[in-house]
Structure 1
């Protein structure tokens, strides 16, 4: 009888242990699915895979990235940061930063159109914040004469404090009137020229976008890196198109000297360093992989 009773008791204990174990697993599984921290970790894992695969690939658009940028990106994608995101892109002249910026804008706008997202992205152009020096140009007789005694390749040639203010106002959900700088040679700046409305993303690019007076306005800091001989070749192609003539050598020399002081150190500030020499289609392909995660997390009923 004791043997039978012991067997029954053991079966009951085993059954109870199995029930408790199964219950614990179910609870653990439910907890994992419902915990926001775990959701962030899942998205981080997927993002890390995308970044690492791109970094390790031949002809990569990535030179380097800081691990913390992946965590930050995951929080924005999941809506844990309750405001718009800002992106600042810097690099030397002829590095490819404007082309990359326009490709980013084009890719995001295409996604926004497909998914009927209003106010997806706003561009704030750093060059539009050059101080108005039109009177000085008139006195000099021409922009070329003016430029001989006025340096445009330094951050204090721009009103970066105003730019920072405008970006922060857009991030706070306010509409802002942006300036417009005439690049045709008048050095005229038209203030309150363009109405910019709040959007999901604010993006800016320019020589001095990651310098001290403006860098804190950006959530994501990107530097576009390019080898010196490639950058020089591009510069002279552009100089020929702009008919700079003999002045091109002096302009390039000054730009390079000032870049050493003001622009190249910004590379250390960047969350992401992009190659300015990759095949253009690869930038969009990489961004579309990130957009896929945005779609999966926020538009589950539609396919990208």
Structure 2
């Protein structure tokens, strides 16, 4: 099994995560602990390097800059060495011992097992925002979201690679979309003991928009219906075009038109992102054999800096 550990400015938590993972999984067979450094600006990479020098189970991939969690996930499953991959965040809010809970559930024949955090110990605003987002995804946008699913998850590596190759903005709703067999099982959750969450409210709002517009066409359906209503309203107000009511309706329709344009632009942006030749990430350093296309040099050795003239 490969343990995927996303890292972004984790500092000393790198060693804490490694020690607890090793202790929790000591009864398992061969494991790989794969740290994916998402362009950290602190000493996270140096700490990971030192662990890799002393523990052959430790592998790492370090990005050229911060590309985000989707990129970390894509690189993690691409370079995972084993048939099963579990994602375990370096903050260890879900204890590594709960990996055994996921393994037990996966033994029932599932492709993906998500952990559902019991007694979630995150700030109220974070919990409320997550609950509202998941409710809106299911009820308003009609997205099939596994209830309670989190980023603490165990996956068949091949299934995860297939999903990530689709370049969809979210992994969780992609699992039922492709027909993978999944389950959600309760796991314990504890308060963060070091650092702070890297997901700020603005970033969380952006993730929500990616979810809504990446997996639902209901906004476009609503736009079609709104366009039909606007056309009917224009016909009805034509005889009284110079009245105050018509003026107010004109302002309303202008605002609605701008909103509709923004909505369409969001879908166009999503399409451009999915078809862009820009890769999800580029790797600056790793102790693994890298695919040439994942490097800035195309797999060629990096030449030394030129001397001064």
Structure index of larger Rg: 1
Q: Tell me: higher relative CO, structure 1 or 2? Use CA pairs within 8 A at least 6 residues apart.
A: 1
| TM-score, normalization by structure 2 | 0.26
Give the structure with the larger helix fraction: 1
State TM-score, norm by structure 1: 0.27
